[in-house]
Chains A and B, each alone.
Chain A
């Protein structure tokens, strides 16, 4: 299909001019990154689906209302919308996000593992993930945000910079300090992160 060759800006232009199929293509193109971003914030699959849906309702209203003017920065713009909706969600519920999923339905750290494993290996890996999650939770907010976006959501530093509205150098610096502080925390707490 020739739409695969179109840029985001071209797809958005087609959609605004009335080609509804362009929206479906845009969603398919970016759904993993957007949903990963939301899930990593709310740790609840159902809530994430609702926010994903509300994000695109806002996208549709903005595009059809002729208010979109961020050509070339479509994905960071959509992620910023979802970020604001996540904040709204927590304000409504008046609670802060927890790092680990309550019901273990979705735990992004699980994806770091590979292949089949025996029970002992599985328990050790779970312990490592749990320890690591606790250490990440102790990082300053700005460093934790960059580390989670980079490692668990696979966003580029350019995208992270745009989402968090800082320069690429600042995002890189935060990542560097996040890793330095994480190492210190691991040492201080005498945590073993190898199987």
Chain B
């Protein structure tokens, strides 16, 4: 019998962030550094 309805997406399919989103977060995390010099906090974003 022909199925006229597209395959239903599961909750898991829809609630998983895109790979690019997670990749950006992890890349940002690796690049983001915080240094403190003489009590002053400096934020750095490394290449």
Contacts and interface: CB of A to CB of B under 8 A. Distances in A.
Interface in A1-46: 20, 23-24, 27, 31-32, 35-36, 39
Interface in B7-46: 8, 11-12, 14-18, 21-22, 24-26, 28-30, 32-34, 41, 43
B36 to A, nearest CB: 9
B9 to A, nearest CB: 8
A57 B24 CA distance: 9
A81 B46 CA distance: 25
A57 B26 contact: no
Nearest to B18: A49
Given A53-B21, A56-B25, A122-B5, A66 B34 contact: yes
For chain A, which range describes its interface: under 10, 10 to 19, 20 to 34, or 35 or more residues?
Answer: 20 to 34
B41 A65 contact: yes
Interface residues of B, number: 24
B25 A57 contact: yes
B3 interface: yes
B15 A20 contact: no
B28 A60 contact: yes
Contact of A64 (B12, B16, B21, B32): B32
Residue among B5, B8, B25 having the largest count of chain A Cβ atoms under 10 Å: B25
B16 A61 contact: no
Nearest to A57: B28
Residue among B12, B14, B24, B33 having the largest count of chain A Cβ atoms under 10 Å: B14
Interface of B: 3-5, 8, 11-12, 14-18, 21-22, 24-26, 28-30, 32-34, 41, 43
Interface of A: 20, 23-24, 27, 31-32, 35-36, 39, 49, 52-53, 56-57, 60-61, 64-66, 106, 110-111, 113, 116-117, 119, 122
24 contacts: A23-B25, A24-B26, A31-B22, A32-B12, A32-B15, A32-B16, A35-B17, A49-B17, A49-B18, A49-B21, A53-B21, A53-B25, A56-B25, A57-B25, A57-B28, A61-B32, A64-B32, A65-B41, A65-B43, A66-B34, A110-B8, A113-B8, A116-B3, A117-B5
